[in-house]
Chains A and B, each alone.
Chain A
Amino acid sequence: MARELTKKERLAISRNPMPAQDPTERIRNFDEVALGFTEDLAIGEAERCLECKKPKCVDSCPVGIDIPAFVHAVADGRFAEALAIIKADNTLPAICGRVCPQEDQCEQTCVTGNKGDPVAIGRLERYVADLERESGEVKMPVCEESSGFKVGVIGSGPAGLACAASLAMRGHEVTVFEALHKPGGVLIYGIPEFRLPKAIVRDEIRSLTKMGVEFKCNFVVGTTATIEELMGEWEYDSLFIGTGAGLPYFMGIPGEDLIGVCSANEFLTRVNLMRGFNFPKYDTPVAIGRRVAVVGAGNVAMDCCRTALRLGCEKVICLYRRTRDEAPARIEELEHAEEEGVDFRWLAVPVEVLGNDDAVVTGVRVQKMELGEPDLSGRPRPVPIAGSEYEVELDSIIVGIGQGANPLLTQATEGLDVDKRGRIMTEEVTQETSIPGVFAGGDIVTGAATVILAMGAGKLAARSIDCYLNGVAMVPDGETVVDREEFVTHPAGGAAAGTHNRVH
């Protein structure tokens, strides 16, 4: 059992740093940077939890994990139990323990953090998930008896995987459609090995397969088959669209089509999905030269900077129009990139890509900025400083300034309502789209966000789908379900009349 500690004693323990590969060493390999806690570190860290009566961390978790309970189990050394607690709400803990922005979620509201550093909840989550994975004895969730319903999940990224897992546990027959040749979506093609080892994603997908989920790769819904066909002749009773963002933004500046300019998506896909770092063993090349600029300062841009370093680039500069304080990347990612030697140019915007007669990039013209009044996003607006332009010699430029909604599926689907940015519009509580029985969630609804938010949306959609299939409707608290017909016809009375709670 855990040591008996007073609140004061708990607060006196300082947060354990994450063991990591040395920066000079790690930029020469693609191995994971963060090495993970040892048992002692995990227990020591868990003991810092004050086990608050009203834990704020749970409210800040997009999937509502019972964090104090699992942390308590870790402090007691009951690791398998800790994992079971997490898995009740999160089917992909080894992934979330690595890529969730905990500092903006559970750890941000952690009460221990009020007086010092918050409990390293994410690292503990990762620890217990890894422990089970490494033991080779992965406990499968218990699936309900077959419901006889068939549900299609479009996209095998975080939203799709979470939705598929949740549906399978409810006894539905699930097929996941993936456009690429490997399932996992952004977890496979986007997030690099050194941040999320691909073996972990493969293991999670294997677990889903064992739960009966079928993966159909090389299947582009919208063109290989339409939503209408899947709901018709393919006989799916319901669908979930979790196709992600998937349309790279470019800057719209002169020279952007020159050879040596690519999107972050292209660069990362070449390296991660197609294993371009291992050319010519793998056939897909990646050629970015010795000097590269990455535009943007989000997590994807950091992934590009750090991948470029590992490919042997001598100089990697990061251009961002605001300052470090406004950079959208996680602090941890910025710190890792800084440690590894990325040359950050804050308040800098590329205004023209320069090239030679062969249309090959030779450099970029950069405009210096200063911060002005806040814009619509609430962040200070970057304002150009007149006469401050300068040129940087480069071999390539990677554009990592965000993504919009890929229109392939939405344009091919009649009757599917989208907003003016092309994102799918859904009913707020149920996530049902304008097509009955078709639900959506993740980046294709919210715009580019995080893995955990997409997973949360996938999980919630699974519950709505379950209600839909069983002919019941959810009421706005998202917990209670009532007869669907009744709800649809008498929304006010429905909730009061035939309510019953379902415990999931």
Chain B
Amino acid sequence: MARILEIEEIAPAFKSYIIHDPVIARRHRAGQFVIVLLHEESERIPLTIADSDAVRGTIRLVVQEVGKTTMEMGTLRPGDSIQVVGPLGKPTLIEKFGTCVCVGGGAGIAPLLPIALALDDAGNHVVSILGGRTQELVILRREMEEVSDEIYYTTDDGSFGAKGLVTHALDTYIEGAGRPELVIAIGPAVMMRAVSEQTRPLGVRTLVSLNTIMIDGTGMCGGCRVPVGGQSRFVCVDGPEFDGHEVDFDMLMKRQRIYLEQEELARRRFLESHDCRAVAAGG
């Protein structure tokens, strides 16, 4: 069991957890995730490690409360313990590439953070383009600013940065500065697809990090599989990062919705059985 040391609400329905797990903290590399189990009756959910502190022996998870399990996680308190396994998945390949554009949308900014940090440490010119529906949903701005050489923001409602989508900002950036060596896009599947389509004609290498349904996270069940380059790949062990130009996003999105009906039922039941605090947190 791993103890939760700190919980901070960093945006509406977004919580940051500092969890004590020295073994995972030491092993963690950018791009990896953990699987979390809240209790005996809970489901196993994959969450990307947003940061780790090997000295303190902690990992940081930034969780958007979208379904029953993430909402229930939001009801935990510092001192509570959960089961955590990892680090899982292949680490991001970090080298000195040159200019790397990190495109993050919504909850995708959290997994982007350790990658941007590692790219920065490797001496790359890190350009970040972060977007969200509205200002307060563009999370982790301070942390991303620290590791970025340039940073651009977009919001759907124009409350912060440029009004529009991250793809617009990416267009503008490339028009001005030219082709980057690498683009990493993490966010909703539609966003990652749009970015990949944008960079495809330019021939810019584009990595995306996929978030699928998983159980074991070790390649044993195959529930996370997604067609990549015409081949069925396991996100848990072959990924979570893949070449964005090869991913079948249509299938990815459909597979993400396999249990939509059950997820909705569980969410409703949870909200009904919980007090107004949880309801408010769930938005």
Enumerate chain A interface residues (CB-CB to B < 8 A).
179-181, 217-220, 223-225, 246-248, 250, 256-257, 259, 262-263, 265-266, 269-270, 273-275, 279-285, 287, 358-359, 406-408
Contact = CB atoms under 8 A, between A and B. Distances in A.
B258 interface: yes
A494 B271 CA distance: 72
A220 B218 contact: yes
B144 interface: no
Given A181-B37, A220-B88, A285 B254 contact: no
B269 interface: yes
B224 to A, nearest CB: 9
B34 to A, nearest CB: 9
A179 B85 contact: yes
Q: Which 3 A-B pairs have the closest CB atoms?
A: A285-B262, A266-B221, A218-B85
A213 to B, nearest CB: 19
B158 interface: no
B220 A274 contact: no
A280 B43 CA distance: 11
B57 interface: no
A257 B255 contact: yes
A39 B51 CA distance: 61
Given A219-B85, A248-B220, A283-B41, A225 B23 contact: yes
Interface stretch (B168-176, B190-198, B225-233): B225-233
Interface centre among B218, B250, B254 (most CB of A within 10 A): B218
Contact of B43 (A223, A274, A407): A274
Contacts of B23: 224-225
A246 B87 CA distance: 19
B216 interface: yes
20 contacts: A179-B85, A181-B85, A218-B83, A220-B86, A223-B86, A247-B220, A248-B220, A248-B222, A257-B232, A257-B251, A259-B254, A262-B221, A263-B222, A269-B216, A274-B43, A275-B41, A280-B269, A281-B41, A287-B259, A359-B255
Given A270-B215, A279-B262, 17 more contacts: A179-B85, A181-B83, A218-B83, A246-B220, A248-B222, A257-B251, A259-B258, A262-B221, A262-B222, A263-B221, A263-B223, A266-B215, A266-B221, A266-B222, A269-B215, A273-B215, A283-B42
Nearest to A282: B41
A358 B69 CA distance: 26
A224 B222 contact: no
Contact of B227 (A223, A257, A273): A257
Nearest to B248: A257
A265 B220 contact: yes
Interface residues of B, number: 42
Interface of B: 23-24, 27, 37, 41-44, 68-69, 83-88, 215-216, 218-223, 225-227, 232, 237, 250-251, 254-255, 257-259, 261-263, 265-266, 269
Contacts of B216: 179-180, 269
A354 B24 CA distance: 42
B220 A224 contact: no
Nearest to B41: A282
A37 B200 CA distance: 68
A220 B84 CA distance: 11
Nearest to B45: A283
B225 A257 contact: yes
Contact of B259 (A181, A285, A406): A285
A384 B111 CA distance: 49
B221 A269 contact: yes
B86 A257 contact: no
B231 to A, nearest CB: 10
A220 B89 CA distance: 11
B218 A406 contact: yes
A257 B226 contact: yes
Contact of A283 (B68, B83, B88, B257): B68
A118 B252 CA distance: 53
B218 A246 contact: yes
Given A220-B86, A223-B86, A358-B254, A287 B262 contact: yes
A273 B216 CA distance: 10
A263 B219 CA distance: 11
Given A223-B27, A257-B225, A359 B254 contact: yes
A266 B237 CA distance: 15
A280 B263 CA distance: 9
B198 to A, nearest CB: 25
Contact of A224 (B42, B43, B87, B227): B87
